Structure 1
Amino acid sequence: MKIIKSIILGALVASPFFGMAQGDAYIIQGKVNPIYNGKFIKLIYTPEKAKKQMDSVQIAKGAFVFKGDVDRPFGAKLSMGNDESGDRIDLFISAGEIRVATKDSLRYAKITGNKITESYEKLAQGGLRSLEYNVIEVVNVFKAMPEGPQKKDYTKKLLEEFENYSSQKRKFVNQFIKENPDSYVSLYQLTKSAPDNLLNYETSFPYYDRLSQTVKDSPLGKEFGQKLMASKGTLTGENYKDFVSTTPDGKQLSLKEIVGSNKYTLVDFWASWCGPCRKENPYVVKTFDAFKEKGFTVLSVSLDDNAEKWNQAIKLDGMPWHHVSSLKGWKEPAAALYKVSAIPMNLLVDSEGKVVATNLRGEALYEKMETLLK
């Protein structure tokens, strides 16, 4: 369940101010129904507030107050009850006063404050917050189920809900960035939708480039910009390098043959024994099925050394495109040609032989092809 916790904890948080002096104070003034008097309400911090994970105060006379210092804006959530299934709402914290008011559940609270607070609430109330609640409800149903066939079958719905959440969140955030380039919230959400291990230059840069210079010049803007530039593949913009290798049926196949007969070719380095590679395969299958009739194809280069396991993985993962391998493991000549030091790794080549993108992971591959083959 670690992935579930990670998705929920990382969901829907944002930060306000561009830059603040060390030790600037914040205060959260809360008004709730007096029936909650005596109960504790928690302020749970997201990972960027590393010094502290949580504060809690007791509700008295239908009110609560949190105070603290903030070096840089950070995301948080207010919660009553169980941290995962209890009543809660996301918010962000920066210098100044934040007001939270509700006569009912926290999830229906009205949150007001400075300009950036209002900006985030616009995004959250526009549908982003309800997406998170939908995921939480599905997760809670899953957790409450007894072990057995029904719970196993429900796992599929759970994964579908996560995929829908991720896809819809990207759309909300991307549209918000387009409409609010001057908002720090746009930058913050962009950094959250592209964590370091999944940061992709080709898909993130167009949105980063839309941000105002003031936002880019903020400490977070500069940090993200540097990471973004570092993620840009050194192969991007270069001509591809041809190679010849062996197909599963023993024939010789060159990359040149594939590139010359398609608009875009994904050269995908993987192996049957590579767990992360196998997790990426469904995304490649989805993209292949969607764009194969529009000039997109895939040439998968395996770093396997066992033909039986290689062929079995191709069949199990349903990969109906071109495959080659010398069955030399990490000594695969094609991998050496492209200086592959870790897998999965891929590069996208256009019909002119130019590398137009590298390391398109997850939904980034589909989104890139959707842009290129409108």
Structure 2
Amino acid sequence: MRKISLIIGLALLSSVACHAQEGYQISGKVSGMADGTLLLIANEGEKPDTLGTIGVKNGTFVFTGKVERPVAAYLSPANGEGMIPLILENANFMINVSNAGALIQGGKQQELLSRFTRISQSFMAEQAKVAAEARQPGADVAALQARVDQAYEASVNATLELIKAHPDEYATVHVIALGIDSETEEGLRSKYELLGEAARATVPGKRIAAALEQYGKLAVGEVAPNFTLAKPDGNTFSLHDVPAKWKLVHFWAARVESSRRDNADLVKLYLQYRPRGLEIVSVALDDNHAMWKQAVGLDGMIWTNGSDLKGMDSGIARLYLVNDLPAYFLLDAENRVVARGMALPALRDKLAELTRKRKKQE
């Protein structure tokens, strides 16, 4: 089950829309903050862009300026410890930060973002409540799971209805873009198709379009993107140069115990199908060479292993739009995608089917 992805840092408890104006003014109070410097940073492109710097005195501050269009931004102390996200537009904002979170008032887009956030918060609250009840003796786990499923479906439907009601607003496309890394292709595409042209033309709209285009490059029948990685011994290899009738590209991480759950079965699969032309290429999304190398040995991964040691920031993970671990892509001898998005048991059945067909052809 996938949660609605609304990762926006501090909880946005409420917001009030205000009229458009020539510029913006952000007035705020941060409880317990020492005098220092506060930065206003646009967070829309590949690199953060500092829009303004202001001194904080007795926890209070005021930013003024002007933007050409709404933009995702955040406030952060100069030391980078913490941030307050908001959608910046030409409006008056009032921000009050305390131990309870951040109260943001002002801005049409901020108000809409808060509506999306409340949907997510409602689902997470129900999920937490069910989890607590599930720990009680005699809990009806099946009934509790049904409640979670029902709450999840309600949150999805409420989100879709809000998207439909505001298809061209920046906050709408911003929320959808936040979910790129945790959304299924089907879910992402269905939400994108609800957007208007103005929303699609924004920076987050273009990010969503690029992700969907990349999904298209990973479709069954397409040539899988090539990559070159270092092996544990420091030598390199390229995916397309690995000779095999079938290649199973396997994404995992030594540091994530749950992602190693299939490794024992992968060894059995490799020993069974290696004589029939299977090669496994495991891509570790780790950043610790020693941990990765040790796990390869402990788990008996005797096939091709590689990593760029960038963890989940790996360019290969982005290239293959990997969100969950483990993840698999089955390729043929011409490096075309045969299957993807399958769990290991389904892939085992697929390999059995493919090898039977190949044997008949031979």
By the TM > 0.5 criterion, same fold?
no
Greater helix content: 1
Q: Using structure 2 for the length normalisation, give the TM-score.
A: 0.45
TM-score normalised by length of structure 1: 0.44
